[in-house]
Amino acid sequence: MEFVAGRGVRPCSCRGVKRTIDHLEMAGIPKRYDACHINNFKATTTLQRQALKFATTFAHEFPATDRGLLLMGNVGVGKTHLGVAILKLIAERGFSCKFYEFGSLLKEIQSTYNPQTDSSEISVLSPVLQTDVLLLDELGASKPTNWVMDTLYHVINTRYNNKKATIFTTNYFDDRVDARHEILEDRIGVAVRSRLFEMCRTVIVDGVDHRRKLDNQVLSAV
């Protein structure tokens, strides 16, 4: 609280700033993505411009829209960059946000899993189920065992039923190019893929692997 002459006591103006910092810190965005923002995502192709537009629109319209994004694309094209940039904008507006890499989340859930009760600690699961916006990075990256499929179904179906917004990134696509290549449905199951059609707008992100570009920049600077 602060005292303002002539106006009495009112909530301190730094509270808004503190709330923003708290929400950003609590989102658990890895340090690697500190510099990722909407305004430094380079969009040169039509699909990149479209992805940037959907990301910006979602970030500004939330919570009026609960339809999240499923960012699909090859490695290094900026899917996590875009997802993180959205999360930052929404956290800055005071909403609770969480970043989870799919494999790490499964490990956390598994570490508290009790086969006798067939359940995991609520302290691990509740932020995932309840946060206003969840960014689930690398969807489909973990080997789809029965336990992985069941756990993923539980998380997604709970958020689906409660109309909670979720952003996903994945390296898997929907079209089967040939019998050797797995598609997203193979990795996450038919029921989860079906729910994602309703929960998210599917957005293809194309382009080159920016990590290679960064490597070339380092080399050319030597």
Contact residues for Mg ion, defined by CB under 5 A = 80
Of the two residues 72 and 125, which places its CB atom closer to Mg ion in the complex?
Answer: 72
Q: Which of 211, 212, 215, 216 binds ligand ATP (CB under 6 A)?
A: 211
Of the two residues 125 and 166, which places its CB atom closer to ligand ATP in the complex?
Answer: 166
Stretch that binds ligand ATP, among 38-46, 96-104, 110-118, 173-181 (CB under 6 A): 38-46
- Residue 24 and residue 92 in contact, taking contact as beta carbons nearer than 8 Å: yes
- Least separation in angstroms between residue 148's CB and ligand ATP is 19
- Residue 160 and residue 118 in contact, taking contact as beta carbons nearer than 8 Å: no
* Phi, psi of 177, deg, nearest 5: -70, -45
Of the two residues 80 and 142, which places its CB atom closer to Mg ion in the complex?
Answer: 80
Name the region of 6 (left: φ>0; alpha: ψ -120 to 50; beta: rest): left
Instruction: Scan residues 158-177 and list those touching ligand ATP (CB under 6 A).
Output: 169, 171
171 binds, among Mg ion, ligand ATP, none (CB under 5 to 8 A by kind): ligand ATP
* Strand boundaries in 124-205, DSSP class E: 133-137, 165-170, 200-204
- Residue 84 and residue 33 in contact, taking contact as beta carbons nearer than 8 Å: yes
Does residue 88 touch ligand ATP according to CB under 6 A?
no
CA atoms in the 13 A half-sphere facing the CB of 190 = 0
Which residues contact ligand ATP by CB under 6 A? Answer: 36, 40-42, 48, 73, 75-81, 169, 171, 210-211
